Amino acid sequence: MSVIPDLSAAVGHTPLLRLRSASALTGCEVFGKAEFLNPGGSIKDRTALGLVLDAERRGLLRPGGTIVEGTAGNTGIGLALIGASRGYRSVIFMPDTQSREKIDALRVAGAEVRLVPAVPFKDPRHYVHIARAYCESLNDAAPGRAWFGNQFDNTANRDWHEATTGVEIWEQTDGKIDGFVCSAGTGGTLAGVGRALKSRNPGVKIALSDPTGSALANYVNCGELVAEGSSISEGIGSSRVTANFQDASIDLAWSIPDQESVPLLHQLLNEEGWCVGGSSGVNIAGAIRLARALGPGHTVVTVLSDAGTRYQAKLFNPAFLREKGIPVPAWLDKSFSS
């Protein structure tokens, strides 16, 4: 009898998908790790599980306690579901600019959602600072009552991706991997997978695929946190170096405009049937760039972070896309006009 005992056991062990168009375009084998198949619908289920297990081990999260986190959405969904399965309540603070689909998913998952204005990290009203302060207020009233996940600067995030995601990719490719690329929000996935792969083969190239409007690509390439432009992508990019991203071994970095990444999402859905979100488009664009940099015959892996249904009103809305200057494929235009 093959049985999964609980939600936590269903997190991870996602398949590698061969991306046909990207592979044909570059002459490489380009694969995407299907993280949208996690129970909460995103790679952040892994992050959430790693953070919770570490907090339980260290005695920071106690039976019946409250999980508090500041998130763009997906980590909150993972924490809410894993928390519910382990007897915890969740309170999630997130910017009010995030997609309605993610806000609704959080509420369906049982989290108490508190929306706050989208402001820079240096502003004390930033969702991370408000979440931390709220957790501290709960613990002031009743010590040990709450735990702040702190996904950006809690390096249990990076460590868990090193121990799980990176190991899975190595095993799934039989160690025949030449490059890994993905975007960074907390930086946990990129840094953790990079560590796992380079510890097994220092020659594996690790690359950052950064949306315009983020300062991380310029930081890797030039050593300065300078950002230009903007992006409709959610949950990736940063104006600061997090503890998870710090000291990550990154060989290459690119800034990816929406006009390059979003059409790749549309093509993937129309030609290969996979419906993924905006960060996955940035990741696929980075995988194509990395494959071209390495040359034909190499193997490149990236991450398909979550499902496109969480961003339907943006990514698959012709009117919104036109407003942002992003090409609208004929098939999508026809679907909305019929």
Backbone dihedral region for residue 182 (phi beyond 0: left; psi -120 to 50: alpha; all else: beta): beta
Based on its alpha-carbon atoms, the radius of gyration of the chain, rounded to whole angstroms, reads: 19
Is residue 102 annotated as part of the catalytic site, yes or no?
no
Contact of 168 with 14, CB cutoff 8 Å? yes
Q: Give the Å distances, CA to CA, from 235 to 10, 128, 245.
A: 23, 13, 15
Q: Are strands 299-304 and 29-34 parallel, antiparallel or unpaired?
A: parallel
How many angstroms separate the first and last alpha carbons of the chain? 48
Pick the closest to residue 91 from 60, 140, 132 (CA basis): 132
**215: Cβ–Cβ under 8 A, 6 or more apart, which residues?**
224, 225, 226, 227, 237, 238, 239, 240
Give the dihedral of Cα atoms 147, 151, 156, 160; nearest 10 deg.
120
Taking CB atoms within 8 Å and a gap of at least 24, the contacts of 328-336 are 329/263, 329/266, 329/267, 329/270, 331/270, 332/266
CA separation for the pair 230, 211 (Å, rounded):
8
Q: Which two tokens stand for residue 246?
A: 């710090």
> Exposed, middle or buried, 281 (CB in 10 Å: 0-12/13-18/19+)?
buried
Helix (H, G, I), strand (E, B) or coil at 171: helix
Catalytic entry in 33, 44, 205, 314: 44
- Which residues participate in catalysis according to the annotation? 44
